[in-house]
Amino acid sequence: MIQINLLPDVKIEYLKSRKMRGLVMSIGILVIVASITVVAFTAAYAYGVQKKQLADLDKSIKQNVASLNKIQDLNKILTVQNQLASLDAIHSQKPAMTRLFTFLPQITPQNIQISALSVDYANNTMQIKGSGSSVEAVNKYVDTIKFTTFTTNNDPATSKKAFSSVVLSKISISTSRVDYTIDFNFDPQIFDITLQSVELTVPKITSTRSDLTVPNSLFKVELPTVTQSGTTN
């Protein structure tokens, strides 16, 4: 069978272009319809569903606020809860003051007595006043404080100086005794309550009360008390 194309080439190209234009327009219309549909659903969700959800949440908030307002002394309860929540942080910042009465017998020789003790935990300073049997005993006490080191449970292999800037600031010699005043700084870690244990290493310059089976009285006066400001007097 023989087919003869009687259409000129220009006519053929025109028909093809027309057919292509119709196809493009059809696709374009479908895309526009799809876009309009998506926009419509989005708008319906935004102005319908979300608006309802926000209204429900607002209603729930108002109901909960009304319920809370009915609780008597709510502000006081919240204040107490906030204070309780901060107790752990406050506790971790306070010094372990009870260690003081463990450390003092370890560093104080048996021929030295303490009559007054002042500890400033904010500035990490300490002052000890008392008397000794001789000038040599007092000087040995000063040296013992100077060369005492410590280790902690967090770093037991590292030894650090427990006290620094040790100064025999006052000494008074009489026939029966030698009165002294010693001022020095201490490493805050030795009173760090977050550390489970702190071990002092005292140089064997002279025997201390911790070396004796039955130590004699360390304090000439009543044991020092700790004030609310964090200073022991």
**With bands split at pLDDT 50, 70 and 90, how would you rate the model's confidence at 12?**
low
Q: In angstroms, how far is CA 76 from the centroid of its own chain?
A: 26
What is the overall mean pLDDT for the chain? 80
Cβ count near 112 (within 10 Å): 23
- Per-residue pLDDT, 125: 94
Give the mean model confidence (pLDDT) for residues 19-47. 81
The helix/strand/coil state of 137 is helix
**With bands split at pLDDT 50, 70 and 90, how would you rate the model's confidence at 5?**
low
Is the predicted pLDDT of residue 7 greater than 80, yes or no? Answer: no
Q: pTM for this structure?
A: 0.57
Q: What is the DSSP letter of 45?
A: I
- Per-residue pLDDT, 37: 85
Backbone region of residue 230 per phi and psi (left: phi > 0; alpha: psi in -120 to 50; beta: other values): left
pLDDT digits (tens, 9 = 90+) for 103-121: 999 999 888 999 999 999 8
Q: In angstroms, how far is CA 94 from the centroid of its own chain?
A: 12
Q: How far, in Å, CA of 139 to CA of 134, rounded? A: 9
**With bands split at pLDDT 50, 70 and 90, how would you rate the model's confidence at 17?**
confident
Residues near 95 by Cβ (< 8 Å), separated by ≥ 6? Answer: 121, 188, 191, 192, 193, 230
**With bands split at pLDDT 50, 70 and 90, how would you rate the model's confidence at 131?**
very high
Which helix (H) or strand (E) is 114 found in, with range? Answer: strand 112-120
The helix/strand/coil state of 231 is strand
